[in-house]
């Protein structure tokens, strides 16, 4: 059996980092971990090829080779998914599809896709494979159960060219104990935090090292600290030990909830293990809007202080913010800007509230008759799939004001200064410059330092770091490159 695994293309968004990747000569941020895991679940004697359309194009030749084309995608890849399906139809290829987009929207694909393998593949894929053998494969496979991920296989990284990616990824947990109204993670993966074993994670780290990778590795968990006690007792000590034995080959990034800031020991252990960055859903400084969306873990705390506590422990905080809650008033736009500037969060992803189909928010808004269309999968492209309480144009104008307020060169470089003032990267997290980094430095000196309107800010930061805090110099160049990407994505900001 010849299986072609296809990962559709992402549009250029905040998260694609498309304009930053060219500085380091990479094609995409991460490989498609879901498809690589599916590849490991398929029979070992089947022939498998993977086409990640973010790093290479999908050729007719590849499709003609395949007996089945497996597609996995998220909502934001919808446009490309439709193209892939059309191509398959034209060449009369059988399509098998799964992943978050198809699980949420399977009704829309019932006609075009031959087999929909929904929910978690560890449960549904084996049923499909059994039925395929007896030539009784059904249209839809779904389950209400959640997979035991202690039996999940190591993703098959041999199917990709790792040199095309900026970072590799692995997953420790699935599920989240919280209940944010706008989030579909709990509907897709449940409230119970399921963990892989420490031995599995060490195996995955060994595997990533074995393929010759050094540098950034992303734990793609929705909330890495969902079970703090096992993390502290078991996994982190094992990672610290592994990193020490292997001469610290990786720098980790992950996602966590803000209560990380309350646990000094946990933060210290994460830093010791090599965690340099953590993404946190802050959403809004407005207490009423936090209560509205059930983000109680962020309520009743000084959020700026929480961010500063994590930064002081040695980790950079990236964060997500949302505007468009029912409780938002026109003052929210300036409050978001002030919060982001004050907290020194360089990578602040501000998006418009939208209601993905599986969320509590979607149910509520549908009940209130306010859903207008399906979500595009990108909450930064000025689209809304519901009728907001605030006047829509006022909301969109306010959103644009925030983007200008945090990503204009003046505001952005000022924020880097605020962050750098009190930040010192721990010794083990200091970036060792590679050949690619040096090339990126020269490219930034020309592209940003000569040809952009932010050039004066760039050189000011450049020399401030060289003479005052050289340990921050690699980070300064990285943030300058990120800023270049953000300004190009959010057009019209200089």
| Sites of contact with ligand SF4 (CB under 6 A) | 176, 178-180, 183, 185-186, 222-223, 257, 281
Residue closer to ligand SF4, measured from CB, 385 or 478: 385
Rounded Cα distance between 72 and 102, Å, is 8
Closest contact distance (angstroms) between CB of 178 and ligand SF4 is 4
Asked whether the beta carbons of 18 and 430 are under 8 A apart, the reply is no
Residue closer to ligand SF4, measured from CB, 193 or 447: 193
Closest contact distance (angstroms) between CB of 71 and ligand SF4 is 25
Residue closer to ligand SF4, measured from CB, 257 or 444: 257
φ, ψ (nearest 5 deg) of residue 173: -130, 160
Asked whether the beta carbons of 71 and 97 are under 8 A apart, the reply is yes
Residue closer to ligand SF4, measured from CB, 185 or 208: 185
Rounded Cα distance between 425 and 427, Å, is 6
Helices (H), 48-149: 60-65, 78-90, 100-109, 121-133
Residue closer to ligand SF4, measured from CB, 4 or 293: 293
Closest contact distance (angstroms) between CB of 321 and ligand SF4 is 12
For residue 354, give Cα distances in angstroms to 181, 259, 368, 384.
Answer: 11, 25, 15, 6
Residue closer to ligand SF4, measured from CB, 290 or 481: 290
Residue closer to ligand SF4, measured from CB, 178 or 413: 178
Closest contact distance (angstroms) between CB of 280 and ligand SF4 is 9
Q: Is 175 helix (H, G, I), strand (E, B) or coil?
A: coil
Closest contact distance (angstroms) between CB of 358 and ligand SF4 is 11
Q: Is 148 helix (H, G, I), strand (E, B) or coil?
A: coil
Closest contact distance (angstroms) between CB of 134 and ligand SF4 is 39
> What 8-state DSSP symbol labels residue 351?
E
DSSP result, 431-481: PPP-HHHHHHHHHHHHHHHHHSTTHHHHHHHHHHHHHT-GGGHHHHHHHHH
275 DSSP β-pair partners? 252
- 82 contacts: CB under 8 Å, gap ≥ 6: none
Closest contact distance (angstroms) between CB of 374 and ligand SF4 is 20
Q: Which helix (H) or strand (E) holds 376?
A: none
Residue closer to ligand SF4, measured from CB, 178 or 407: 178
Closest contact distance (angstroms) between CB of 184 and ligand SF4 is 8
CA-based end-to-end distance of the chain: 52
Q: Is 76 helix (H, G, I), strand (E, B) or coil?
A: helix
């Amino acid at each position: 059996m010849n299986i072609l695994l296809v990962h559709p293309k992402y549009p250029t968004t905040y998260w694609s980092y498309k304009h930053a990747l060219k500085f380091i000569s990479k094609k995409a941020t991460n490989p498609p971990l879901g498809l690589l895991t599916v590849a490991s679940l398929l029979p070992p004697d089947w022939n498998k090829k993977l086409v990640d359309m973010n790093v290479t194009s999908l050729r007719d030749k590849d499709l003609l080779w395949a007996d089945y084309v497996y597609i996995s995608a998220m909502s934001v890849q919808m446009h490309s998914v439709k193209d892939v399906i059309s191509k398959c139809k034209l060449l009369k290829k059988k399509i098998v599809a799964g992943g978050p987009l198809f699980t949420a929207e399977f009704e829309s694909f019932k006609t075009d896709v031959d087999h929909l393998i929904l929910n978690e593949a560890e449960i549904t894929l084996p049923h499909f494979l059994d039925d395929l053998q007896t030539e009784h494969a059904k249209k839809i496979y779904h389950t209400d159960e959640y997979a035991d991920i202690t039996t999940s296989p190591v993703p098959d990284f041999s199917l990709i060219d790792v040199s095309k990616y900026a970072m590799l990824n692995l997953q420790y947990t699935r599920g989240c104990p919280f209940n944010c109204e706008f989030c579909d993670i709990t509907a897709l993966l449940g409230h119970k935090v399921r963990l892989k074993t420490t031995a599995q994670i060490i195996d995955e780290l060994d595997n990533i090292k074995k393929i010759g990778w050094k540098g950034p590795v992303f734990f793609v968990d929705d909330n890495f600290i969902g079970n703090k006690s096992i993390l502290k007792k078991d996994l982190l000590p094992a990672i610290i030990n592994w990193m020490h034995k292997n001469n610290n080959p990786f720098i980790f990034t992950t996602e966590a909830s803000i209560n990380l800031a309350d646990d000094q020991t946990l933060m210290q252990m994460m830093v010791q293990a090599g965690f340099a960055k953590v993404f946190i859903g802050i959403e809004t400084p407005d207490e009423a809007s936090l209560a509205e969306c059930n983000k109680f873990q962020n309520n009743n705390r000084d959020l700026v202080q929480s961010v500063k506590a994590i930064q002081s422990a040695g980790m950079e905080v990236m964060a997500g913010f949302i505007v468009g809650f029912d409780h938002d008033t026109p003052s929210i736009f300036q409050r978001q800007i002030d919060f982001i500037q004050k907290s020194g969060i360089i990578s602040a992803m501000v998006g418009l509230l939208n209601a993905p189909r599986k969320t509590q928010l979607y149910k509520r808004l549908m009940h209130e008759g306010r859903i207008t269309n399906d979500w595009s999968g990108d909450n930064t492209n000025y689209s809304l799939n519901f009728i907001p309480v605030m006047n829509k144009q006022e909301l969109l104008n306010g959103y644009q004001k925030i983007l200008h307020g945090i990503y204009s060169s003046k505001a952005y470089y000022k924020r880097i200064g605020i962050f750098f003032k009190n930040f010192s990267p721990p010794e083990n997290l200091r970036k060792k410059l590679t050949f690619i980094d040096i090339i990126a430095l020269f490219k930034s000196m020309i592209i940003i330092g000569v040809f952009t309107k932010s050039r004066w800010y760039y050189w000011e930061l450049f020399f401030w770091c060289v003479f005052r805090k050289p340990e921050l110099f690699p980070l300064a160049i990285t943030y300058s490159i990120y800023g270049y990407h953000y300004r190009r994505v959010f057009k019209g900001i200089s």
